[in-house]
């Protein structure tokens, strides 16, 4: 888990709290909490990309994977499979605000090309913790880890495979 300085955490806190509260108050069922969390994390990963290049796309997938492993390590859990998908466009404006803050904070760092990954990891981890705090169970935490693992795979299917296909057309296939 990358450690984000306190001043930057404060800049992200309002949006993370808003999103967590929105999820927990508007969507009563646990399943919908997880679906909304997944939606936010996926959209946020797309919006903070500095450019649509292989390294950046891989970095987003790595964040999902690293966050899942950290949940598992810290909470001593195994992920439970979670593969459902849903759309929550009502949350898009707040996701956009959060992504703009992440991009802004990253741009002020010494190495902005690397800073956004840590800020993304921090944001999806803190959001998950805020949602899990309402449930306080290992089962729910295992589902959060499962959501992150699913995001890792889903992001490849939706974003990276599409990028790879574009590059095959542009540069020729290697297989």
Question: Over the stretch 31-49, which tens digit does the pLDDT of each residue have?
Answer: 899 999 999 999 999 999 9
Q: Which of 151, 112, 122, 110 is nearest to 15 (CA)?
A: 122
Helix axes 161-171, 54-75, angle to 10 degrees: 160
Q: Is residue 1 situated within a structural domain?
A: no
Question: Confidence class of residue 2 from pLDDT cuts 50, 70 and 90?
Answer: low
Contact 49, 60 (CB under 8 A): yes
Question: Confidence class of residue 148 from pLDDT cuts 50, 70 and 90?
Answer: very high
What was the pLDDT predicted at 1? 57
Helix (H, G, I), strand (E, B) or coil at 148: helix
The CATH number covering residue 39 comes to 1.10.4120
What was the pLDDT predicted at 57? 94
How does the average pLDDT of the chain come out, rounded? 92
What was the pLDDT predicted at 102? 96
Q: Is residue 76 situated within a structural domain?
A: yes
Q: Checking phi first, is residue 172 left (phi over 0); if not, alpha (psi -120 to 50) or beta?
A: left
Q: Is residue 164 situated within a structural domain?
A: yes
Q: Is residue 132 situated within a structural domain?
A: yes
What was the pLDDT predicted at 51? 87
Q: Which of 175, 61, 174 is nearest to 117 (CA)?
A: 61
Domain that holds residue 130: 6-171
- Upper half-sphere CA count for residue 87 (Cβ side, 13 Å): 1
Q: What pTM value is reported for the model?
A: 0.90
Cα–Cα distance measured from residue 35 to residue 82, given in angstroms and rounded to the nearest whole number: 9
pLDDT over threshold 80, residue 70? yes
What was the pLDDT predicted at 108? 94
pLDDT over threshold 80, residue 71? yes
What digits encode the pLDDT tens for the residues 156-170?
999 999 899 999 999
Helix (H, G, I), strand (E, B) or coil at 86: coil
Contact 123, 16 (CB under 8 A): yes
Contact 129, 67 (CB under 8 A): no
pLDDT over threshold 80, residue 98? yes
Question: Confidence class of residue 69 from pLDDT cuts 50, 70 and 90?
Answer: very high
What was the pLDDT predicted at 133? 85
pLDDT over threshold 70, residue 106? yes
pLDDT over threshold 80, residue 146? yes
What is the number of domains present in the chain? 1
Mean pLDDT across the stretch 6-18?
A: 95
């Amino acid at each position: 888990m990358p450690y984000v300085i306190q001043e930057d955490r404060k800049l992200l806190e309002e949006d993370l709290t808003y999103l967590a509260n929105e999820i927990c108050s508007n969507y009563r069922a646990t399943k919908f909490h997880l679906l909304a969390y997944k939606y936010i994390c996926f959209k946020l990963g797309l919006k903070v990309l500095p450019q649509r290049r292989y390294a950046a796309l891989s970095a987003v997938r790595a964040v999902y994977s690293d966050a899942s492993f950290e949940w598992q390590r810290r909470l001593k859990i195994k992920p439970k499979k979670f593969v459902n998908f849903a759309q929550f466009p009502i949350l898009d404006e707040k996701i956009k605000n959060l992504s703009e803050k992440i991009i802004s904070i990253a741009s002020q760092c010494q190495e902005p090309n690397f800073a956004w990954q840590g800020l993304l990891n921090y944001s999806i981890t803190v959001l998950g913790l805020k949602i899990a705090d309402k449930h306080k169970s290992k089962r729910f935490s295992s589902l959060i880890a499962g959501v992150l693992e699913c995001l890792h795979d889903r992001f490849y299917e939706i974003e990276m495979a599409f990028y790879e296909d574009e590059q095959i057309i542009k540069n020729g296939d290697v297989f």
